[in-house]
Structure 1
């Protein structure tokens, strides 16, 4: 009733190596977290070029250290530029969003150091925006 399959299967069978590399979930999360932290570092450097702050300097160094830990190499950082068109508020909102994304990924991979740093940066950018902090309700 059915005709036998005559073409090679597109699925790999156990014991054969696929034609493309596979990464584990942890490796994928490391890559994703490093990307979010590197983007946060870039925005932090932009903020540092607009307003000098010891807090931003410390945050940039801690972010760079986390990215280097995850990637195995130090991040490439752009030189400070005085020609940034974004407003401070827009940069703080962007940094807050990126820190939130990093926090979600750090929490999913159980990276305590990155999660704490991300949460601290979210708090700092919330304060910089002048928004009141909303307490997290224990549930």
Structure 2
């Protein structure tokens, strides 16, 4: 009724076979994802620094840049130099809070304590910046 298969499959589905494209481990994927979240948080932090310079933001930016560089194998992250004048600081704080939360989730699943602590601190900083807005809306 059915004719037997006489040729090998074009798909490599057998364990132990090599394929033509590189595979990354789960840890490498998490490193890439975490570096991306931290780089985005660094960009928002640089925007906030340009709008309202503060020593706390400078310190946070340096710590973030250090972690991004570590996760990217020593590659220095691109830093923000010019900021449009029409940015809303509260919207930037909301975005930074969300990015720090994403970084915290990935850092926790990756078991990276240093980044998890940094992300949690950044969440607290940006949540505190948003508190007057939350109280005013009540």
Asked if TM exceeds 0.5, the reply is yes
Q: If each structure's helix is expressed as a fraction of its own residues, which one has the higher value?
A: 2
Give how far 1:3 is off.
2.6
The alpha-carbon distance between structure 1 residues 102 and 84, as it changes in their structure 2 partners (threshold 3 A), is farther
Task: Give the 5 Å matches for 1:57-72.
Answer: 57-72=58-73
- Residue deviations 1:53-90, cap 9 Å, x none? 111000000000000000011111121x2424320000
Q: Is the 8 A contact 1:102 1:115 kept in 2?
A: yes
Q: Number of aligned pairs?
A: 131
Any stretches of 5+ residues in structure 1 without a counterpart?
133-139
> Residue 2 of structure 1 corresponds to which residue in structure 2?
2
Task: Give the 5 Å matches for 1:100-115.
Answer: 100-115=101-116
The alpha-carbon distance between structure 1 residues 82 and 21, as it changes in their structure 2 partners (threshold 3 A), is closer
Distance, in Å, in 2 between the alignment partners of 1:84 and 1:104 is 32
Task: Give the 5 Å matches for 1:21-32.
Answer: 21-32=22-33
Any stretches of 5+ residues in structure 2 without a counterpart?
134-138
Task: Give the 5 Å matches for 1:53-132.
Answer: 53-72=54-73, 73-79=75-81, 81-130=82-131
Distance, in Å, in 1 between the alignment partners of 2:35 and 2:83 is 26
The alpha-carbon distance between structure 1 residues 78 and 103, as it changes in their structure 2 partners (threshold 3 A), is same
Normalising by structure 2, we get a TM-score of 0.88
The alpha-carbon distance between structure 1 residues 38 and 3, as it changes in their structure 2 partners (threshold 3 A), is same
> Residue 43 of structure 2 corresponds to which residue in structure 1?
42
